[in-house]
Amino acid sequence: MTAKDAARKYPIARIVPDFLVEKFLKTKKPIIMSEIKGITSLTGEKTEGWFIACPLTARQLNDKSLTDLANQRLLECAQLAAELGAQVVGLGAFTAVVGDGGITLSKHSPIPVTTGNSYTVATAIEGTMKAADLIGIIPSESTLAVVGATGSIGKTAAMLLSPQFARTLLVGRDQGRTQAVADQIPGSIATTDLNMLREADVVITVTSADAEIIEPKHLKTGSVVCDVARPRDVQAKVVKERPDVLVIEGGVVSVPGDVDFGMDFGFPEKTAYACMSETMMLALENRIEHYTLGKDVTVKQVEETRDWAAKHGFELAGFRSFEHALEQTAIDRVRKARQDQKERNPAGGTTAIQTP
């Protein structure tokens, strides 16, 4: 969350400077936000749980000088979960991507830990490919780009998807670490330059940046962008300035049963993030063990969570873009923009950026 997101719990945060909000949050202990009821598998198995808030912003979680505080707050979250009766704890959003991906927490937590990144990868891939198909993108003739390619989600998504595409671009903040990933993916190109995205037909972005880094000028006409990052990577002004680009949110999942999350976290009823769903599925499977941890997600884990989803009735919800349901008109508009661009430039390659 950002400092302003704290206003959901503390309304005064709307009018107080961010640095004062963050100073206040550093003094707060984890709190129970709601109880989750009604999760019912297709098999008839049931589970329940709680939302527990770690009261630190994304910027604070990403601040290396606050690593000890972040680890302490996450441990307190796990201890609170155990006291409530939970058997497994899932790390959501920034708590999963900063630091060492739950490894430190797993050594001290009274209950097993998962980041949820395995099912997040599975749903990001499924959603991206479905959206690309709707736009008329043929992977074997197209360029894939993965932003945040050195992270656990980005690296695994790139490894699984790159064989289907003609070309793969890996975008990271550090050239050396990005090249190390590229060395594991035949034919891929490592870069730190976001302008390279102008060559990409399909983009998966999943960085741990605490700011929106992908601007309208970075994107190719008729492309699909799956933004898996929380906070998001794609600037909100892309919606207005680039109607020729389709931006979807990654990992929005329909949860089986008459589920009640007990709070509004910005999604339609009975839907959740994929990372949350992985924790629910571990409980339904009675897999009370550490699952997705650290910077690596294995292909086996991605496939296993995909199988669990089919077994229990978790599935991709409809496409969403910037917290709103995606309308068919937006899909049609981007598909036409892509067709028009292809007619103007049948050889493909880098395209000029349209300005509506």
Residues 6+ apart with CB under 8 A from 174: 150, 192
How many angstroms separate the CA atoms of 196 and 190, rounded? 10
Residue 323 scores a pLDDT above 70: yes
Collect all residues with Cβ–Cβ distance below 8 Å to 10 and sequence separation of at least 6.
Answer: 21, 24
pTM for this prediction: 0.83
Q: What is the pLDDT of residues 86-113, one digit of tens each?
A: 999 999 767 776 668 889 999 999 999 9
Average pLDDT over the chain, rounded to whole?
A: 89
**Per-residue pLDDT at 341:** 87
Rounded Cα–Cα distance for residues 200 and 239 (Å): 18
Burial 86-108 (b: 16+ CB within 10 A, else e): bbbbbbbbbbbbbbebbebbbee
The whole-angstrom separation of Cα 21 and Cα 283 is 35
High-pLDDT (> 90) share of the chain, %:
64
Confidence of residue 185 (pLDDT cuts 50, 70, 90): very high
DSSP 326-346: PPHHHHHHHHHHHHHHHHH-T
% pLDDT > 70, the chain: 91
Q: What does the pLDDT average to over 162-187?
A: 96
Q: Distances from the Cα of 246 to the Cαs of 142, 143, 236, 313, in angstroms? A: 16, 16, 12, 27
The residues near 258 (Cβ < 8 Å, ≥ 6 apart) are 38, 40, 270
Strand partners, 14: none
| Higher pLDDT pick, 68 / 35 | 35
| DSSP states along 4-53 | GGGGGT-GGGGTS-HHHHHHHHTTPPPEEEEEEEEEE-TTS-EEEEEEEE
344: tokens are 């103007």
Q: 219-258: per-residue pLDDT in tens?
A: 999 999 999 887 789 999 998 999 999 999 877 899 999 9
Task: Report residue 140's pLDDT band, with 50, 70 and 90 as the boundaries.
Answer: very high
**Nearest of 241, 209, 244 to residue 223 by alpha carbon:** 244
> Residues 50-71: what's their mean pLDDT?
84
Token pair for 68: 């000890």
Selection from 190, 168, 187, 188 nearest residue 179 by Cα: 190
Mean pLDDT over residues 35-61, rounded? 91
> Confidence class of residue 335 from pLDDT cuts 50, 70 and 90?
very high
Please, which residues have CB within 8 angstroms of residue 46's CB and are 6 or more apart in sequence? Answer: 39, 40, 257
| Helix residue ranges, H only, the chain | 18-25, 58-61, 67-84, 94-97, 103-108, 117-135, 152-161, 175-182, 238-241, 274-284, 299-312, 328-344
Q: At what angle do helices 274-284 and 299-312 cross, to 10 degrees?
A: 70
Distance CA 307, CA 294 (A): 22
Identify which of 220, 226, 162 has the alpha carbon closest to the alpha carbon of residue 190.
Answer: 162
Taking residues 304-327, report their average pLDDT: 91
Span 279-300, pLDDT tens digits: 999 999 999 999 999 878 898 9
For residue 349, the model assigns a pLDDT of 52
For the chain, the C-alpha Rg in angstroms (whole number) is: 20
**Mean pLDDT across the stretch 180-201?**
96
In this predicted model, what pLDDT tens digit does every residue of 204-225 receive, in sequence order? 999 978 789 999 999 999 999 9
Q: What per-residue confidence (pLDDT) applies to 356? A: 35
What is the pLDDT confidence band of residue 355, given thresholds at 50, 70 and 90? very low
- Cβ atoms within 10 Å of 237's Cβ, excluding its own: 11
The token duo for 188 is: 């891929």
Range of weakest confidence among 82-86, 99-103, 114-118, 155-159 = 99-103
